[in-house]
Chain A
Amino acid sequence: MTSRTPEGVDPGPGTVSLRVRLYAISLLLAGVGTLGFLVLLGVSLRAQGDLATATEAFMEEERIADAVTVHVMDQLATAFALRTAPEMELRDAFQESGRAAHGEVRRYLFRDLAPEERLQLETMAEAHQRMEVAGLRAADLFARGQVAEAEASWAAMLEHNRDFLAGMATFLQMRQRALDVLQTEQARTFRRVIGASVVLALLLLAMAGTLAWTVDRRMTRPLARLARASERFGSGEMDVRVPLWRDRELRQLASGFNRMADRLQETKAELESQNRELSQAMENLKRTQDELVQAEKLSALGRMSAGLAHELNNPLTSVIGYAQLLEERLGGERDPPGPDELRGEFLSPIVSEANRARQLVRNLLHFTRRAEAELKAVSVADAMDVVLGLHQGRFAEAGVVIRMEPLPEIPVLAEPSLLQAVFLNIVTNALDAIDPRGQGTLWIRGSSGSEEVRVVLEDDGPGLPDPERVFEPFYTTKPPGQGTGLGLSLVHRFMEHFGGGVEADHRPGGGARFTLTFRKAEKSIEAPATSGRAVGESRSAPPRAPSRAGDDPGEIPWILVLEDEAPIRELHGRLLTRLGVRPLLAESAASARELMDGAEELAAVLCDVRMPGETGLEFYRWLQGAHPGLAERLLFVTGDVGDPELLALLAERPDLFLHKPFSIEEYGQRVRALLDRGPVRPT
């Protein structure tokens, strides 16, 4: 009774199975009912059978008695006949009737008789025997004429006949009394059966009531209580429990319910605790996310600033340089420049470079108006021009060729600054993907439908390993520290903000493809105050510089200039010439190496940093290995300080750098300082 159940619920000591209890009561009820019914049925059937048997026996005995009487009366009648005609046939008839009567009497022999009845029967038989003997004797005496003796025997015969009939009557009375006793007993038995039936019915009723009471008390009430407890528990009363009832099943049920309630209560407490922790974690995550978004914004701002600085420093360098050259030329005592020379060699480059800088600033200002928080009609072409213009230098450095088809001039709904961020992030993503290879292509094309404008940007970089996840926050394939994983997530968010969408997938042939879908704007675009575009031009390779500045070998030192932008390279040439140095102008590292091969001595190397293909830093590293002496005479002329490696080198060797824009004096001092160290052979 105390064995542990398979579910592990201890039924408790001394508990009895309710099923066993109910079975026992039901079996007892059925057993008592069946036994009582069978007993009553048996008693009734037996009494009925006894009565039927007795009645049948009595009727049979009545028939026997009737037959005996008939045969004896026949004998008597034959005896009367023999009195007057003693013939042999009559004697035979007399004896035949007697034999029949005797046979009928002997039929009683095998019947169930009481001792006194059997004795009475033998008395009857003896009387009959005497009657027959007396009758035959009388007949014989009558036949022989002995009338007196015959009459005496006749009288004896009649007396024996009366004795026989009286005995028969007595016998039948005894049987009748026996039947009466049996009937009385039957009546008493029936009364007992009825009484027993009533008692049995009451007993069964009591047992049924006990069973119903047991079921109610042991099963219905506990189940109702369990149901109420379940309802209360379901409504939140986690501390509600039920008692452990005595019956095994209900005890197991209650134990299971209580254990379930305990576990649910514990689980709820754990969930509440985890919920609090999760809420805290969510707050922290949101804060972190905000910080990351801010960091991403700052990172984007930094990238934009770096590009802006580079793009501005170059025209500024040209403007300052040409302006100072002009100032110096105009301040000279001899050979002042003529109007044509002044316009062609000094003013035109200054104006051109100043316009270039102005255009950059205008575009930037146009797309950084943060007050425009609501969606408006924007030109995707203009936005794309700004982004590409700001990153023109990086495209060149990364060796990225931009092949852009004219984008639709259909206004779309967007926020200009966010639209710029969208393009910036996708373009930056392409740049970062292509940059390690040193060359690649970015395709930009657009199309318009009835409701939307599509812009597709494709690159031939390594592609997206998992396009479906690129828009997840913090998903990045870049090395740690080089990406926040929020750029493309913001693209997705901004595009949804615009009411459009963005899809990422693989470009056929390799690479990544981003498809931006914009809603068309109903209003037309306000005309931007721009006069031109700084984008749309494709750059295949920097123009090659003249290999040598002059032919006079004499004592004039040679300085190698490595600059990808032609105006700056030309300015270098003028400034070095002014300083009495013969410049070797190279547009790329490769052309620089060619010039170095042809040079006997070089006094210094002036090198830009951000260039298409091999960068200035890479050229410097090469130079440190191939021409250490010349590497000691290298001067970086750059307006870019955003590169971490460059910053590290700057911190270590600030004497290696001449920052754009620079003054002629500063330029001259740094070049002369290099010249003072004497030339070296580049081999």
Chain B
Amino acid sequence: MRNGQVSGRGRGRAGKTAAGLWLLCLLGVAGCESPPPPVLGAASSYDFLQATRFALAEDLREFGAPSPADTTLIAQGTGRAADALEAAHRLAGIPGMVAVVGHANSAASLASSQVYNRAGIVQIAPTSTAPLYSDAGPFSFRMVPPDDVQGGFLAEVVHELLGEGGTIALLFVNDDYGRSLRRTFLAALDPERIVVALDLPHAETDSQGLDVAHLLGALEHERPDLIVWLARVPGLNDLLPGIRRSLGQVPILGSDALARADLLSERGPEWNEVRFADFLDMDGSQELRAFQERWATTEGGDVGTGEALTYDAVRMILTGLREGATTGEAMQRWLMDLGRERPPYPGITGPIRFDDRGDLDRSFVVRTIRPREAP
């Protein structure tokens, strides 16, 4: 175009032609550039990640083809919100990320939820029950009902266990999970029948760990008729031997945080007769029993409801990917269409249909840890 022999009109036409060609090239390049392949992320505890791998393997076996999405799994040993945030930023930065199954608990899921909502990535929390998560945003889903349901359920169980009335010791983890569950539990508790003799928080994030001595001292001082544990397994695992020594077989009712497979398989005798709220009765349906059998065959050992919920979440996302929901927005619409524009997803945990806030309308069951049979 620098040729001086070209006339002015010719230069103008040539310039327009060149600009048109450039535009066509740009459009062509833009049109030819294939979008990144869909990616499925998972950020959770080791148990839940194992369930994720199990689901991917079963999907591969069932369909005989590679997974419709790449997968990125991030294991989180703790349920700290800070760790969850770091993992969420890593996952959100991966091109093609469609959905993330995680995180480990309510605090972690709640903290990371805004990262995913702002990135347009679907987040399915398998076991997060914090009520605030319902307001996290349109991309936030969970496989369990919120604490409003669990708090009431636990209160009903307490009422049944204590009959005419009694005292309870309420020990809770002082994070989003424990705080919200404590609040809903206390709200549902009948104060005329049940006296909260001890109401103590603990911090799982404390570098010094659980102050077992203090808690035991308090329990021995109050000697409640029932201990309500609104926290996770490690703290109770530290505390239980002391409880059994000083308070004997005082009834213990835990929240869903105790519904872990490792607890069932590797527990000590102090765990016997400990009750806890669970999302599912793993023996309540053919699908769940079959799932346990397959899990036992492939993975070995027992499997909890968290793994089953994680399994359903992963298989459900893979189904959505196969049906064309290869972006976060498409996946969000696909999930919201379940039970509306399309049938509920037939998970092993039951039909899955999310309400307008991304929650599942399910109830709880009480499970009791029975003494291990002698080999």
Instruction: Verify if B175 is at the interface (C-beta below 8 Å from A).
Output: yes
- Complex interface bits, B185-211 against A, C-beta within 8 A gives 1, otherwise 0: 000000000000001111101100001
Instruction: Verify if B245 is at the interface (C-beta below 8 Å from A).
Output: no
- Interface residues in A70-106 by Cβ distance below 8 A to B read 91, 95, 99, 102, 106
Q: Determine whether the beta carbon of A122 is less than 8 Å from that of B82.
A: yes
Q: Determine whether the beta carbon of A115 is less than 8 Å from that of B85.
A: yes
Instruction: Verify if A30 is at the interface (C-beta below 8 Å from B).
Output: no
Q: Determine whether the beta carbon of B206 is less than 8 Å from that of A136.
A: no
Q: Which residues of A contact B221 (CB under 8 A)?
A: 144
Q: Which residues of A contact B175 (CB under 8 A)?
A: 125, 129
Q: Determine whether the beta carbon of B214 is less than 8 Å from that of A137.
A: yes
Q: Of the candidates A112, A115, A132, which one forms a contact with B174 in the assembled complex, judged by CB atoms under 8 Å apart?
A: A132
Considering the complex, give the chain B residue whose CB is closest to the CB of A122.
B81
Q: Determine whether the beta carbon of B85 is less than 8 Å from that of A119.
A: yes
Q: Of the candidates A91, A109, A123, A133, which one forms a contact with B199 in the assembled complex, judged by CB atoms under 8 Å apart?
A: A91
Q: Which residues of A contact B357 (CB under 8 A)?
A: none
Cα–Cα distance between A133 and B110 once the two chains are bound (Å)? 21
State the Cβ distance, B113 to closest chain A Cβ, in Å: 8
State the Cβ distance, B114 to closest chain A Cβ, in Å: 6
Cα–Cα distance between A565 and B175 once the two chains are bound (Å)? 169
Q: Determine whether the beta carbon of B205 is less than 8 Å from that of A129.
A: yes
Q: Determine whether the beta carbon of B179 is less than 8 Å from that of A99.
A: yes
Q: Interface residues of B toward A: which range?
A: 20 to 34
Instruction: Verify if B73 is at the interface (C-beta below 8 Å from A).
Output: no
Q: Determine whether the beta carbon of B110 is less than 8 Å from that of A109.
A: yes
Q: Determine whether the beta carbon of A110 is less than 8 Å from that of B114.
A: yes
Instruction: Verify if A231 is at the interface (C-beta below 8 Å from B).
Output: no
Cα–Cα distance between A118 and B113 once the two chains are bound (Å)? 11
Q: Determine whether the beta carbon of B86 is less than 8 Å from that of A133.
A: no
Highest count of chain A CB atoms <10 Å: which of B137, B179, B221: B179
Cα–Cα distance between A144 and B80 once the two chains are bound (Å)? 32
Q: Determine whether the beta carbon of A141 is less than 8 Å from that of B214.
A: yes
Q: Which residues of B contact A149 (CB under 8 A)?
A: 214
Q: Which residues of A contact B86 (CB under 8 A)?
A: 119
Cα–Cα distance between A144 and B111 once the two chains are bound (Å)? 37
Q: Determine whether the beta carbon of A140 is less than 8 Å from that of B85.
A: no
Instruction: Verify if B70 is at the interface (C-beta below 8 Å from A).
Output: no
Q: Of the candidates B89, B111, B118, B202, which one forms a contact with A133 in the assembled complex, judged by CB atoms under 8 Å apart?
A: B202
Instruction: Verify if B331 is at the interface (C-beta below 8 Å from A).
Output: no
Cα–Cα distance between A133 and B215 once the two chains are bound (Å)? 11
Considering the complex, give the chain A residue whose CB is closest to the CB of B198.
A140
Instruction: Verify if B218 is at the interface (C-beta below 8 Å from A).
Output: yes
Q: Determine whether the beta carbon of B200 is less than 8 Å from that of A136.
A: yes
Q: Determine whether the beta carbon of B183 is less than 8 Å from that of A99.
A: yes
Cα–Cα distance between A126 and B203 once the two chains are bound (Å)? 8
Q: Determine whether the beta carbon of B214 is less than 8 Å from that of A130.
A: no
Instruction: Verify if B299 is at the interface (C-beta below 8 Å from A).
Output: no
Cα–Cα distance between A146 and B118 once the two chains are bound (Å)? 49
Q: Determine whether the beta carbon of A144 is less than 8 Å from that of B110.
A: no
Instruction: Verify if B339 is at the interface (C-beta below 8 Å from A).
Output: no
Q: Which residues of A contact B206 (CB under 8 A)?
A: 130, 133
Q: Determine whether the beta carbon of A118 is less than 8 Å from that of B214.
A: no
Instruction: Verify if B176 is at the interface (C-beta below 8 Å from A).
Output: yes
Given contact pairs A110-B135, A118-B114, A144 touches B217 in the complex (Cβ within 8 A): yes
Cα–Cα distance between A119 and B114 once the two chains are bound (Å)? 12
Q: Which residues of A contact B80 (CB under 8 A)?
A: 122, 126
Cα–Cα distance between A113 and B118 once the two chains are bound (Å)? 10
Q: Determine whether the beta carbon of A129 is less than 8 Å from that of B203.
A: yes
Considering the complex, give the chain A residue whose CB is closest to the CB of B82.
A122
Q: Of the candidates A95, A109, A112, which one forms a contact with B132 in the assembled complex, judged by CB atoms under 8 Å apart?
A: A109
Q: Which residues of A contact B137 (CB under 8 A)?
A: 110
Q: Determine whether the beta carbon of B82 is less than 8 Å from that of A123.
A: yes
Instruction: Verify if B168 is at the interface (C-beta below 8 Å from A).
Output: no
Q: Which residues of B contact A119 (CB under 8 A)?
A: 82, 85-86
Q: Determine whether the beta carbon of A126 is less than 8 Å from that of B205.
A: yes
- Interface residues in B67-89 by Cβ distance below 8 A to A read 80-82, 85-86, 89
Q: Which residues of B contact A99 (CB under 8 A)?
A: 179, 183
Q: Which residues of A contact B115 (CB under 8 A)?
A: 115, 118
Cα–Cα distance between A669 and B270 once the two chains are bound (Å)? 202
Given contact pairs A130-B206, A140-B200, A125 touches B81 in the complex (Cβ within 8 A): yes
State the Cβ distance, A108 to closest chain B Cβ, in Å: 10
Cα–Cα distance between A136 and B218 once the two chains are bound (Å)? 12
Cα–Cα distance between A129 and B179 once the two chains are bound (Å)? 10
Q: Of the candidates B111, B201, B202, B217, which one forms a contact with A109 in the assembled complex, judged by CB atoms under 8 Å apart?
A: B111
Given contact pairs A133-B201, A136-B200, A140-B200, A122 touches B85 in the complex (Cβ within 8 A): yes
State the Cβ distance, B110 to closest chain A Cβ, in Å: 7
Instruction: Verify if B149 is at the interface (C-beta below 8 Å from A).
Output: no
Given contact pairs A118-B111, A118-B114, A122-B82, A129 touches B174 in the complex (Cβ within 8 A): yes
Cα–Cα distance between A133 and B175 once the two chains are bound (Å)? 11
State the Cβ distance, B130 to closest chain A Cβ, in Å: 10
Instruction: Verify if B236 is at the interface (C-beta below 8 Å from A).
Output: no
Cα–Cα distance between A153 and B183 once the two chains are bound (Å)? 25
Cα–Cα distance between A216 and B179 once the two chains are bound (Å)? 81
Cα–Cα distance between A129 and B202 once the two chains are bound (Å)? 8
Considering the complex, give the chain A residue whose CB is closest to the CB of B197.
A88
Instruction: Verify if B336 is at the interface (C-beta below 8 Å from A).
Output: no
Q: Determine whether the beta carbon of B203 is less than 8 Å from that of A110.
A: no
Q: Determine whether the beta carbon of B214 is less than 8 Å from that of A140.
A: yes
- Complex interface bits, A149-160 against B, C-beta within 8 A gives 1, otherwise 0: 100010000000
Cα–Cα distance between A132 and B178 once the two chains are bound (Å)? 13
Q: Of the candidates B118, B183, B199, B200, which one forms a contact with A137 in the assembled complex, judged by CB atoms under 8 Å apart?
A: B200
Instruction: Verify if B136 is at the interface (C-beta below 8 Å from A).
Output: yes
Considering the complex, give the chain B residue whose CB is closest to the CB of A91.
B199
- Complex interface bits, A443-477 against B, C-beta within 8 A gives 1, otherwise 0: 00000000000000000000000000000000000
Cα–Cα distance between A126 and B82 once the two chains are bound (Å)? 9
Cα–Cα distance between A106 and B115 once the two chains are bound (Å)? 15
Q: Determine whether the beta carbon of A132 is less than 8 Å from that of B201.
A: yes
Q: Which residues of A contact B214 (CB under 8 A)?
A: 137, 140-141, 149, 153
State the Cβ distance, A158 to closest chain B Cβ, in Å: 15
Considering the complex, give the chain B residue whose CB is closest to the CB of A92.
B199
State the Cβ distance, B126 to closest chain A Cβ, in Å: 20
11 contacts between A and B (CB under 8 A): A95-B199, A106-B176, A109-B110, A110-B136, A115-B89, A115-B115, A126-B81, A126-B203, A129-B175, A129-B203, A133-B202
Q: A109-B110, A129-B175, A133-B203 are in contact. List 11 more A-B contacts (CB 8 A).
A: A99-B179, A115-B115, A119-B85, A119-B86, A125-B81, A125-B175, A132-B174, A137-B214, A140-B214, A141-B214, A144-B221
Write the residues of chain A forming the contact surface with B, with a CB cutoff of 8 angstroms.
91, 95, 99, 102, 106, 109-110, 112-113, 115, 118-119, 122-123, 125-126, 129-130, 132-133, 136-137, 140-141, 144, 146, 149, 153
Closest 5 CB pairs of A and B: A122-B81, A129-B174, A133-B203, A122-B82, A126-B205
